[in-house]
Structure 1
Amino acid sequence: MTHPADRTDLDALIACPRCDALYKVREPAHRERAVCARCHHVLIAPRRGAGAQIVAVALTVVVLVVAATIFPFLEVSVGGATNASSILDAALAFSGSGLFLLLALAVAALIVVIPVTRALLVIYVIAPLVFDRRPLPHASSAFRLSEALRPWSMAEIFAIGCAVALVKVADLATVSLGPAFWMFSVLVVLVVAQDSFLCRYSVWKALEREARPT
Structure 2
Amino acid sequence: MSLPPLEDLVACSQCDTLHNAMTLSEGETAACRQCGTPLMTSRSSALARVLSLALTSVVLMIAAISFPFLDLDVQGRQSGTSVIGAVLAFQSSWGFPLAIAVAGFIIILPLTRLIALIYAIGPLTRGAKPRRYARQAFALAERLRPWSMVEIFMVGVTVALIKVAGLATVTIGPAFWAFAALVVITVLKDQLICRYSIWEELDTARA
TM range (shorter): over 0.9
Decide which moves more: 111-120 or 143-152: 111-120
Query: Are 1:117 and 2:123 counterparts?
Result: no
Superposed CA offset, 1:13-72 (max 9, x none): 222233332222113222222222223222112322111111111111111111111110
Decide which moves more: 35-44 or 178-187: 35-44
**Aligned residue for 1:28?**
24
* Corresponding residue SS for 1:112: helix
Q: TM-score, normalised by structure 2?
A: 0.93
* Distance (Å, rounded) in 1 between the aligned partners of 2:18 and 2:86: 44
* Distance (Å, rounded) in 2 between the aligned partners of 1:6 and 1:12: 13
**Aligned residue for 1:69?**
65
Query: Are 1:79 and 2:80 counterparts?
Result: no
Within the candidate set 190, 196, 199, 2:194 is matched to 199
* Corresponding residue SS for 1:141: helix
Q: CA deviation at 1:81?
A: 1.2
Q: Which amino acid aligns with 2:168?
A: A
**Aligned residue for 2:203?**
208
Query: Are 1:152 and 2:133 counterparts?
Result: no
* Corresponding residue SS for 2:171: strand
Q: CA deviation at 1:97?
A: 1.2
**Aligned residue for 2:47?**
51
* Distance (Å, rounded) in 1 between the aligned partners of 2:85 and 2:204: 45
Aligned residue pair count: 207
* Distance (Å, rounded) in 1 between the aligned partners of 2:87 and 2:187: 22
Q: CA deviation at 1:6?
A: 5.5
* Corresponding residue SS for 1:44: strand
**Aligned residue for 1:7?**
3
* Distance (Å, rounded) in 1 between the aligned partners of 2:19 and 2:163: 49
Give unmatched runs, 5+ long, in structure 2.
none
Give unmatched runs, 5+ long, in structure 1.
none
* Corresponding residue SS for 2:122: helix
* Distance (Å, rounded) in 2 between the aligned partners of 1:209 and 1:121: 19
* Corresponding residue SS for 1:121: helix
Within the candidate set 115, 137, 140, 1:142 is matched to 137
| RMSD (Å) for aligned C-alpha atoms | 1.6
**Aligned residue for 1:104?**
99
* Distance (Å, rounded) in 2 between the aligned partners of 1:48 and 1:182: 31
Superposed CA offset, 1:69-114 (max 9, x none): 111000001122111100122233322114x211111111111111
Structure 1 contact 31–46 (Cα < 8 Å) conserved: yes
Q: CA deviation at 1:144?
A: 0.5
* Corresponding residue SS for 1:182: helix
* Distance (Å, rounded) in 1 between the aligned partners of 2:116 and 2:183: 18
Q: TM-score, normalised by structure 1?
A: 0.91
**Aligned residue for 1:129?**
124
Distance 1:146 1:58, change over 3 A: same
